[in-house]
Each structure stands twice: as C-alpha cells, then as structure tokens.
Amino acid sequence: MTKFIKATCPSCSKEIFLDPTEVPDQGKSVICSSCATPFKVKIGKRDAGGGGARDKVATDTAKRGLVVVIEDSKFARTQIVEALSEEGIEVVEAETAEDGINWILELHPKVIIVDLFLGTGNPQGLDIIRNVRKRIDKRIPEGIRIITYTIMSEEKVPLAIRKMTDSFVHKGPTALFHLREEVLRLLNE
C-alpha cells in the first residue's frame, strides 16, 4: 500500500496528497485545485536504496507500447506526461481532439488517455472514445485501450460511456497515482 505525503497550500490551507514517487528530489511544482495558487512541494532525503517504485522503470518501452494523452489543460497534460515518463513509458500529448485523432492514426498507440470534456470545440472526448471503440474511421487500429480521465465522478458518467472505455480515472488529489497504475496495467496486459 502506497503512503501519500501531505502538502498544504500556503494561501488557502487546502491539503493536497501526493505519491512520494511523483516528487523528484528537487521538488515538484503543483497548483492548488481550490485557489489556483502555485507552490513547490519537497520531501525529505530518500533512503540510500533510491526512489522505491521509481527504480522499477521498464527498460523496453517499445515492447510496452505508446500512450497518447488527449487533454486540453496544459498543466494536467504536463503532469501526466512527467508521471508516465518517469516509468519509462513513451508518451505523446495532444491538446485537441483533432490532434489526438491524428496522433492515433499516425502512431497506433496501445493506450490513450482522454479527457471527456475538451474545451469548447468539436470533436470532444466522447467523440474520440466512440471513434476509437467503434472504429468509425477504419484507419484507426483495433485494440487500443482507452482510459477516460475526467472531473466527473464515475457514478455521474453515463454507463454507455463507461462501457466503451477500459478504465476510468477521476481527476482528484490521487489521480496521477491511479492514472499511472491503470496505464501500467493496460500496457502489461
């Protein structure tokens, strides 16, 4: 069982919980989800054995597969890319649904992470999920695993959407930890 570290926002005192393996030795910049104040989190000295879970980085990325992250928030995208890259996973990011589909067609990823609500444009995350799962565009390869990443709780996401995805991760204090675990699980299946 992972023990999380607690950080407190200096402005509003909201408590934020982080997986210590997500915090590099030099610290990690975070943004408070309540007041949007940026601040840096540092943890004490690590044991001589190194970074724990960070030592389990896979060496053969090509064997594991590629992940495409489709998320309109630059901050969220950057956090996801950093967390997955620390695990030795090759990640490509897309800000829009259109860019995401283009990367899927070009790179044939094993896993995609899709924000259900992508800005205000079309297509949206749901359109990507439908297109990939039902292969509306026949150029999309079969077997892509889909993780829905959204601010909505799982209970509020319609069952039809949940059935089209392989995993669901709620954007919350422990989201990066859960997202990383789900990506690793899907890549290793």
Write the pLDDT tens digit of every residue in 136-171.
778 888 899 999 998 887 777 777 777 889 998 988
pLDDT tens profile 65-101: 899 999 999 999 999 999 998 888 889 999 988 889 9
CATH number for 58-188 (one of 3.40.50.2300, 3.30.479.30, 3.40.50.1820, 3.40.190.10): it is 3.40.50.2300
d(CA 179, CA 89): 13
Between the alpha carbon of residue 57 and those of residues 51, 71, 83, the distances in Å are 10, 24, 11
Predicted TM-score (pTM) of this structure: 0.65
Q: Which two three-digit tokens encode residue 76?
A: 């969220």
d(CA 157, CA 155): 6
- CATH 3.40.50.2300 intervals, the chain: 58-188
